[in-house]
Structure 1
Amino acid sequence: MILNPAAGRGRAARVWPEVESDMRAAIGEFGFRATKSRDDIKVAATEALKEGYRRIVGVGGDGTMGLLMNAIMANSDVPRSEVVMGQIPCGTVNVVANCLGLSTPRRAVEALAGASVKPVDVMRLDAADGGEGAARHGFVIVSVGLPVEASRLTASMPFVKLLGGASYVLAGVLSVLGGRPRQFAYSADSAPPSTVKAWGYFFCCFPGLPGEISFAPEAQFDDGLLDCVEIGPVSRGRMLTQILPAMKDGSYVRKAGMRVTQGRVFHIETPAPMQIEVDGEPAGVTPATVSIVPGAISMIFADQ
């Protein structure tokens, strides 16, 4: 069990005593680490694997799970086929957990005791200036353009996260007011590249969480495909009145000017380098390639 006490603005730390009691009642003894930083989360996962643990459970949100997953994907000593991930959901939105039926910490404990497992797809991002010089992986979303600007604003206003998924929409409004569509060269799989103007792109293998924020409502985490959402060059007025409000339930993808494409490999280039993010974290700049790694990670889920 790897605890991120800061997840959900401290919610993970608050619920941990009850979770710990429930876990001991459900499965007995288990290894435990409390972390202090993003790097500490990755180190904790790597050390747990080295010590022989093969079930890694994150107590936190989507960000925590992404860090743990990247540590597992980058570990060359332990085949990822031997590793199972689980989650106690304590983040702001908890997209991954909810898609797997882990809607509450108590529900998650029950699922961890039952240990039903299924393979889950993850996204791979190969971007210029990636910092660490290696591919980055994501569960929920790879984004470029307007979505990155909205993510930056959300990160710069921590109090806004109290709004949950609505915080992203609010930040999107501010980004639209100060931004404009940009030029992209875009290609999917083996199709020739096309030059388009767009506000930006989402790449997803998880749909999001309807009622909070739904980036790609038709995406499935086990079909071996990415859903790419192109936010076309619609007017600011339509972005503010039609597109952004409809992100809450995902219906924005059916509005005029939006395009959804499924594929396995997407490539994006821009006239000047643009920042690209994985699950809300900076991960290099364009040009970038986003691809799917089918069934990359086995995860515990709740039987429906």
Structure 2
Amino acid sequence: METKPLPKEAILVVNAHSRKGQNLFAQARQKLEAAGIRLIAAHGVEEPEQLALTVRQAVENGAPMVIVGGGDGSMSGTVDELVGRECVFGVLPLGTANSFARTLGLPLDLDGAVQAIATGRRRRVDLGMIDRDYFVNAASMGLSPMIGQTVPHKLKRYLGRIGYLIWAVKCSVGFRPFRLTIDDGVKEHRLWSTEVRILNGPYHGGVELSDNADVDTGEIVIQAVVGRSKPHLAWDWYAKFVKLRDRDALTQEFHGASFRIDTRPRQRISIDGEVLARTPATVKIAPGAIDVAVPRES
């Protein structure tokens, strides 16, 4: 069945604090208008905590599409405002990893992303949830939240994923494995783990981690790096990054609509790069929660 076309009017909201946002806000505004998108308003938001409020006001004022420019954290921090609304979510990938944009098949350059919004189509996608908080792409426990909570902004901004890698080596010195319990409603699964990824799409940190996660499956995927070996965790990231044949040898996956997760000791949960929750927590899928703009051939 043919879906409604993408709107030609939108409000642009750019995280000007993100890695590329400050430099690209003016360019994005100009390129969107040149591509035929009439911008009702355009906001370059310097304070990240104001992003959600700015998007909420745009949706409440009846914007047919809200285009958010920033990284995965900006997307997850604002997407709650579009759930249950007719407003389309437009994505300008201006962050470091841009995992959600990769999942949607969006070009990662500004010109390509603008063209996808101007000439693409709607796609109805799922969102993940940690308790009552929606997220677009992935949440994680273990080393990732430690990195996300402490990585210097300038290191992330100027070195991108390499900066994350440098900081990961530093953080790994004090990191300890944990005992993980996953309750799928039928059975409790207990195992040692060094990292847990909660996936609504295949990418996390810009790396394709799962062949089974996607934004329209109606399921959430929990992927645990099993055991207590920190070198195994490093090897798992490397194996998945270079796509080795046995890249899933050190992980175990659980698929379903809802899970209850707990850890000993308690773990912080990073939601698309922002540390926003702790275990225990309920993890579930919100099927077909929003419309997003994707390339027509996606």
Class of the TM-score when normalised by the shorter of the 2 chains? 0.7 to 0.9
Residue 28 (structure 1) shift: 4.8
- Aligned pairs (5 A) from 1:117-266: 117-126=122-131, 135-153=132-150, 155-156=151-152, 158-188=154-184, 190-208=185-203, 212-240=206-234, 242-249=235-242, 251=244, 254-266=247-259
Match of 1:61 among 49, 57, 71: 71
Tell whether the 8 Å contact from 2:178 to 2:193 is kept in structure 1 after alignment.
Answer: yes
Question: Would you say how many aligned residue pairs link Structure 1 and Structure 2?
Answer: 284
CA spacing shift, 1:251–1:42, aligned 2, 3 Å: farther
Residue 115 (structure 1) shift: 4.2
Measure the CA separation in 2 of the matches of 1:34 and 1:140: 23
Q: Does 1:87 align with 2:91?
A: yes
CA spacing shift, 1:40–1:3, aligned 2, 3 Å: same
Match of 2:119 among 114, 123, 126: 114
Tell whether the 8 Å contact from 1:169 to 1:247 is kept in structure 2 after alignment.
Answer: no
Aligned to 2:253, the other structure's residue is in SS state: strand
Residue 71 (structure 1) shift: 2.6
Aligned to 1:270, the other structure's residue is in SS state: strand
- Give the aligned residue type for 1:96: F
Tell whether the 8 Å contact from 1:229 to 1:260 is kept in structure 2 after alignment.
Answer: yes
Q: Could you tell me which residue of structure 1 aligns to residue 32 of structure 2?
A: 23
- Aligned pairs (5 A) from 1:18-57: 18-30=27-39, 31-57=41-67
Q: TM-score, normalised by structure 1?
A: 0.84
CA spacing shift, 1:7–1:89, aligned 2, 3 Å: same
CA spacing shift, 1:118–1:28, aligned 2, 3 Å: closer
Tell whether the 8 Å contact from 1:86 to 1:300 is kept in structure 2 after alignment.
Answer: yes
Q: List gaps (5 residues or longer) in structure 1.
A: 74-78, 127-134
CA spacing shift, 1:196–1:35, aligned 2, 3 Å: same
Q: Could you tell me which residue of structure 2 aligns to residue 130 of structure 1?
A: none
Higher helix share: 1
Aligned to 1:27, the other structure's residue is in SS state: coil
**What do the CA deviations read for 1:169-216 (whole angstroms, capped 9, x no partner)?**
44443343322221122123x331132211121011111179x42333
Residue 46 (structure 1) shift: 1.0
Higher strand share: 2
Aligned to 1:7, the other structure's residue is in SS state: coil
Tell whether the 8 Å contact from 2:18 to 2:157 is kept in structure 1 after alignment.
Answer: no
CA spacing shift, 1:28–1:137, aligned 2, 3 Å: closer
Q: List gaps (5 residues or longer) in structure 2.
A: 1-11
- Give the aligned residue type for 1:227: V
Residue 36 (structure 1) shift: 2.1
CA spacing shift, 1:145–1:296, aligned 2, 3 Å: same
Q: Does 1:280 align with 2:280?
A: no
Q: TM-score, normalised by structure 2?
A: 0.86
Q: Could you tell me which residue of structure 2 aligns to residue 76 of structure 1?
A: none
Tell whether the 8 Å contact from 1:253 to 1:260 is kept in structure 2 after alignment.
Answer: no
CA spacing shift, 1:24–1:301, aligned 2, 3 Å: same
Q: Is 221-230 or 191-200 further displaced after alignment?
A: 191-200
Q: Where does structure 1 differ by over 6 angstroms across 4 or more consecutive aligned residues? A: none
Residue 217 (structure 1) shift: 4.1
Match of 1:289 among 274, 282, 294: 282
Measure the CA separation in 2 of the matches of 1:170 and 1:216: 24
Tell whether the 8 Å contact from 2:155 to 2:163 is kept in structure 1 after alignment.
Answer: no
